[in-house]
Amino acid sequence: MPRKIAIIGAGIAGLASAISLSNELTPKVSGLEIIVYERSKELSTAGGAISLTPIAQRHLDDLGVLSKLNQMGPEAGVEVDTIDLFALNSGRHLGPLRVTASKDAGCDNFKGRRVKRISLALAMVAAIEDLPNVSILYGKKLTGGDTTDDGVTLTFDDGTSASADLALGCDGVHSPTRTRIVDPGNESKYSGVSFVQSITSAVDASHPTRSETTSLHIGRHGSILTSFCDPNREKLFVAAVLKVNELLIERYYAALEGDAAAQNSMKMSLRYLVRNQSNNSRVPTLRKMVDHAEDWDLCPVYQVRPGRPWHRGRIMLLGDAAHAMPPRDESTTHALEDAIIFSRTLSHNVGQPIANSFQEFECERRAFIDNAFDESFHLWQRNQDLAASLNYLKDPMSPVSRPASPDVNVDRIPPLSVPMPMNDSFSDLSVCSLTQEYLGSHGII
């Protein structure tokens, strides 16, 4: 049974795995030591605000994270049960969209939540601080490693190395654990769509709509989401979902490495992009709010080819490292579920070879994740089919389960157009183009 467990990445999957492994294996495994290796020098404040499904909230509750989050006052985020849809240009109210708890049982007491990524990370770290057998080491960027029958060796860019009985690659969509050790060369692929986002003060910029918490302004060429992310409504998350070319992404990352002037100029360029999007809007407060926000970040959406190996030797990939997919706001839920299910599987198999746990985990997760990818992929793809869009408008109003089409060729992932809706639990980020294409093609917007 592994006593020393290394986790690469202190993101959602990594921190959730650390908590869940400690909960499941203590005191079953004596001398348990869980170490999280994170490349950043400290927890990153980047990434804006994330939308959590009711199921994600339930998992966070099980992990003891929700109570930590709820102690954080205004930083705890805000619960969301409906999203108001507006036509971007005309400002017309298209209706509310209920954030449902999907068809899964056990989520009745939970709503959706919009919370800053950094707040969620801090709540997870606070939960870890209560666990004596877990530690987090920052400034540890994985560069490579090896796995044998006996153990794992990991190397870091500071010249150090570490050994473990088991390693979990929770290092996100560009995971070096995947591309360098588990499945060499399996690089992520850019979807063609990026989020340009900012968190701004809502005090001076009145909220652009009559929405209680979250509004989605749907335009023909992209959408703008505005969402409060604190109960006092002082902070507003703004995200434009746009087609962005890879050249701009390269320039963006180069600018981040540059001096303050280069960074500033890039942020102004991003604001210009969003302004272009909001300029035609007849909602003056939306334009005002875009002008008000200065600190814009670019978040490109990448995905990982499905059907590829998740494990090798004594290393398992979890979360986006294994299966980043076009966003439907359920990816965090998938990452949390990976962590919980993997830990329970390991716990059930105490005394058995690690390979048994890996196999059992894969049996439990592979078909579910493949199905989630197919659904997500198809929803995005169908966006290009205007005829099909006619049906889409109905979807947000009446959740139905859509079977995954078996014919998707996952090896050929063409660039996607704009995000599409989820069908079980609806997401502000993913419903946008559903109505957008329909409304646009029928001259409603």
Helix (H) or strand (E) holding 134: strand 134-137
Residue from 57, 332, 425, 436 in contact with ligand FAD (CB under 6 A): 332
State which of residues 5, 6, 13, 78 lies at the interface with ligand FAD (CB under 6 A). Answer: 13
**Alpha-carbon distance 335 to 340, whole Å?**
9
80 is a contact residue toward ligand FAD (CB under 6 A): no
Can you read off the two tokens belonging to residue 279? Answer: 């300029």
Instruction: Based on the shown chain and the rule CB under 6 A, indicate whether residue 429 belongs to the binding site for ligand FAD.
Output: yes
Nearest approach, Cβ of residue 330 and ligand FAD (Å): 6
Tell me the site size for ligand FAD, rule CB under 6 A. Answer: 33
Residue nearest to ligand FAD (CB): 11
Burial (CB count <10 Å: 0-12, 13-18, 19+), residue 92 = middle
Instruction: Quote the CA–CA distance of 71 and 428 in Å, as a whole number.
Output: 26
Measure the CA–CA gap between 39 and 369, rounded to whole angstroms: 27
Stretch that binds ligand FAD, among 103-111, 330-338, 373-381, 410-418 (CB under 6 A): 330-338
| Closest CB 286 distance from ligand FAD, rounded Å | 20
Contacts of ligand FAD in 29-58 (CB under 6 A)? 37-40, 50-51
Q: DSSP states of 95-132 as a string?
A: EEEE---TT-TT-TT--EEEEEHHHHHHHHHHHHHT-T
Q: Which is nearer to ligand FAD, 61 or 288 (CB)?
A: 61
- 171 scored as a contact of ligand FAD (CB under 6 A): yes
- DSSP H helices, 183-330, are 246-257, 260-278, 284-292, 320-323
- The 3-state DSSP class for residue 306 equals coil
Pairing of strands 315-317, 222-228: unpaired
CB burial readout 34-62, b (16+ within 10 A) else e: bbbbbbeeebeeebbbbbbbbbbbbbbeb
Q: Is residue 373 involved in binding ligand FAD (CB under 6 A)? A: no
176 binds ligand FAD per the rule CB under 6 A: yes
| By CB under 6 A, residue 154 contacts ligand FAD | no
Distance from CA of residue 34 to its chain's centroid?
24
Q: Could you tell me which stretch among 11-19, 27-35, 75-83, 307-315 binds ligand FAD (CB under 6 A)? A: 11-19
Pick the piece of the chain touching ligand FAD (CB under 6 A) from 22-30, 70-78, 123-131, 319-327: 319-327
Could you count the other beta carbons within 10 Å of the beta carbon of residue 408? 17
Note whether 142 binds ligand FAD by CB under 6 A: yes
Token code pair at residue 49: 């605000």
Minimum CB–partner distance for residue 16 and ligand FAD (Å):
8
Among 24, 230, 329, 395, interactor with ligand FAD by CB under 6 A: 329
| Residues 184-203: x where in contact with ligand FAD by CB under 6 A, - otherwise, as a string | -----------x--------
Q: Does 11 bind ligand FAD (CB under 6 A)?
A: yes
Q: Is 435 in the site for ligand FAD (CB under 6 A)?
A: no
Please give the Cα distance from 95 to 225 (Å, whole number).
15
Closer of 59 and 140 to ligand FAD (Cβ): 140
> Any contact of residue 14 with ligand FAD (CB under 6 A)?
yes
Q: Which of left, alpha, beta for 364 (phi over 0: left; psi -120 to 50: alpha)? A: alpha
Distance CA 333, CA 143 (A): 28
Nearer to ligand FAD, 48 or 349 (CB): 48
Q: Which of residues 111-140 bind ligand FAD (CB under 6 A)?
A: 140
Q: Residue 315 interacts with ligand FAD (CB under 6 A)?
A: no
374 binds ligand FAD, rule: CB under 6 A: no
Rounded Cα distance, 228 and 217, in Å: 14
Identify which range of 71-79, 169-177, 210-218, 398-406 contacts ligand FAD by CB under 6 A: 169-177
- Residue 322 CB, shortest distance to ligand FAD, in Å, is 8
Q: Is the peptide bond before 27 cis (omega within 30 degrees of 0)?
A: yes
77 counts as binding ligand FAD under rule CB under 6 A? no
- b/e burial code for range 210-235 (CB count within 10 A of at least 16 → b): ebbbbbbbbbbebbbbbbbbbeeeeb
**Residues in touch with ligand FAD (CB under 6 A):** 8-14, 37-40, 50-51, 140-142, 170-172, 176, 195, 299, 301, 319-321, 327, 329-332, 335, 429
